[in-house]
Structure 1
């Protein structure tokens, strides 16, 4: 992964056996599932309603690579999955993972971190907030998070602690660090809320 602050993908040796992951940010191509896919690794859980919790993480291929982000809601006691939804990866990018989640009204919102390439030295990491209908799991939007006032080949990183993705005044707030490619000479803190869906601003 491009930075040590990121949650590491866990390598698996079993075959990857799901084919419902979308490859673009087209929500119509996102399929809902009654269960999480094989080889799914949990990054975080959080209470979202009475007796329910959101679960975020990623599923990988047989070599523990090419991770794909998934978000689910399950029964907190029985772990029975109510719904599970993959988060599409932009065409040509390498992998993504869901690292945080929270409840915002009637929506579950998850923080998605996406890598553009497998080579850590050249990959940019982009951050988005994906919003889901809490009842059905339907993906409603994917809104980018950008470091304010920063332009160029910027790579973002958000630590796994829940305090880095919180709800304030009805808006999700992300705190993390950014570095500038290609040298990544310095990590600079940032705080931001998601931009309007589809408008990354770079």
Structure 2
């Protein structure tokens, strides 16, 4: 009888422990969390800045004007919170601005904003402003990227020599036939100019992939030639290698005509460039080798109508884009870069406004149609 009581006591104790564990166990962490940003904020860029931190850039819509103003937020994925958010004002006599890529260099953050000078398109120009922000989110300094009347960016990064901006410049807006140039602007960490290289041989438009290695630049995107030049006859989507120190193009390869709904490029391990484009009917894939030769061109079914992020995983290309016919739905495609075949496809979110492929995950900002909240999401690759 004593043994039976002892056994019952042990069973009862185990039962109580199990109940307690079940009642007080922490719920499994969600992959989503809410960003502390205004309901009117729209993210356009996500940058990994180290230590589990992500810089989210975009703009806030002001219905009463109406116009946009730039905002940047620093998001901590480990503590699942927004550390700070900072408004970046535009010039008093200008119309609006929006924040592009945000980068980190040491204890400071730098953000590139695009500023529109006028509400009337016929007389407006675009300016680039680079701003320096403290580790606590305080706006310290802003400096105009003074290259030409109309300026846009293709690359913004920090390196041992300071900050580098690669972009396009024009003597007038692109729609008004200005003379276009490719530029490389190098700044120190206090935003003073160290070097400026300008090649008046045409420019690459926004949405371009660019990779800088010292003074060697590989750039892929929509090339806008100057009227009356030999290149104007072959204006389209191109990949070029540029020697900035000698101020000359090493090679240029035209890949697609300009009639393309979306495009994006990425570097592959062997030094080649994988180029993914979307036209009216197909998803197109081209691989350009390190010498500028088109090694392969292929097409696949048109599963997405945008290319919001592009990466490489093992031997596959990964494409993040909006599902055709369902602009609120975002797909992740795995593609075979040797055949163009889509190996797999899965839904990863709705209402995506920005996406970043970083390491083993895809980071996204979602603006759900039925909510004012902006969601930060991690999706395993």
- TM-score over 0.5 (shorter chain): yes
Partner of 1:102: 103
For each residue in 1:42-66, what CA deviation from the matched residue of structure 2 results, as whole angstroms up to 9, or x when unmatched? Answer: 1111122311111111011238941
1:141 has 2:141 as partner:
yes
Q: Is this contact kept in 2: 1:98–1:111, CA < 8 A?
A: yes
Partner of 2:163: 172
The structure that is helix-richer by fraction is 2
Partner of 1:155: 150
What is the CA distance between 1:184 and its match in structure 2?
3.1
Structure-1-length-normalised TM-score = 0.69
Distance 1:61 1:146, change over 3 A: same
Q: Is this contact kept in 2: 1:53–1:76, CA < 8 A?
A: yes
**Secondary structure, aligned partner of 1:114:** strand
Question: Aligned partners of 2:123 and 2:183: how far apart in 1?
Answer: 21
Q: Is this contact kept in 1: 2:172–2:179, CA < 8 A?
A: no
Question: Aligned partners of 1:167 and 1:198: how far apart in 2?
Answer: 14
Partner of 2:200: none
Partner of 2:371: none
Partner of 2:231: none
* Aligned pairs for 1:76-155 within 5 A: 76=77, 79-134=80-135, 136-147=136-147, 150=148, 154-155=149-150
Q: Is this contact kept in 1: 2:59–2:69, CA < 8 A?
A: yes
Partner of 1:3: none
RMSD: 2.5
**Secondary structure, aligned partner of 1:112:** strand
Can you give the 5+ residue segments of structure 2 that lack an aligned partner in the other structure? 1-34, 194-381
Distance 1:123 1:115, change over 3 A: same
Question: Aligned partners of 1:193 and 1:123: how far apart in 2?
Answer: 26
Distance 1:198 1:61, change over 3 A: farther
For each residue in 1:164-187, what CA deviation from the matched residue of structure 2 results, as whole angstroms up to 9, or x when unmatched? Answer: 111132421111111112733332
Question: Aligned partners of 1:120 and 1:79: how far apart in 2?
Answer: 40
**Secondary structure, aligned partner of 1:137:** coil
1:188 has 2:189 as partner:
no
For each residue in 1:111-143, what CA deviation from the matched residue of structure 2 results, as whole angstroms up to 9, or x when unmatched? Answer: 011011122221121111111112x10111112
Question: Aligned partners of 1:166 and 1:197: how far apart in 2?
Answer: 13
**Secondary structure, aligned partner of 1:121:** helix
The structure showing larger relative contact order (alpha-carbon pairs under 8 Å, at least 6 residues apart) is 1
The structure that is strand-richer by fraction is 2
Question: Aligned partners of 2:157 and 2:192: how far apart in 1?
Answer: 21
Distance 1:106 1:157, change over 3 A: same
Question: Aligned partners of 2:76 and 2:134: how far apart in 1?
Answer: 16
Q: Is this contact kept in 2: 1:39–1:59, CA < 8 A?
A: yes
Q: Is this contact kept in 1: 2:156–2:163, CA < 8 A?
A: yes
For each residue in 1:70-122, what CA deviation from the matched residue of structure 2 results, as whole angstroms up to 9, or x when unmatched? Answer: 01101225652110010011112100011101111101110011011122221
Question: Aligned partners of 1:41 and 1:64: how far apart in 2?
Answer: 17
Can you give the 5+ residue segments of structure 1 that lack an aligned partner in the other structure? 1-33
Q: Is this contact kept in 2: 1:69–1:98, CA < 8 A?
A: yes
What is the CA distance between 1:194 and its match in structure 2?
4.5
Partner of 1:55: 56
**Secondary structure, aligned partner of 1:36:** coil
Distance 1:111 1:103, change over 3 A: same
Structure-2-length-normalised TM-score = 0.38
Question: Aligned partners of 1:69 and 1:138: how far apart in 2?
Answer: 14
Question: Aligned partners of 2:65 and 2:166: how far apart in 1?
Answer: 28
Q: How many residues align?
A: 156
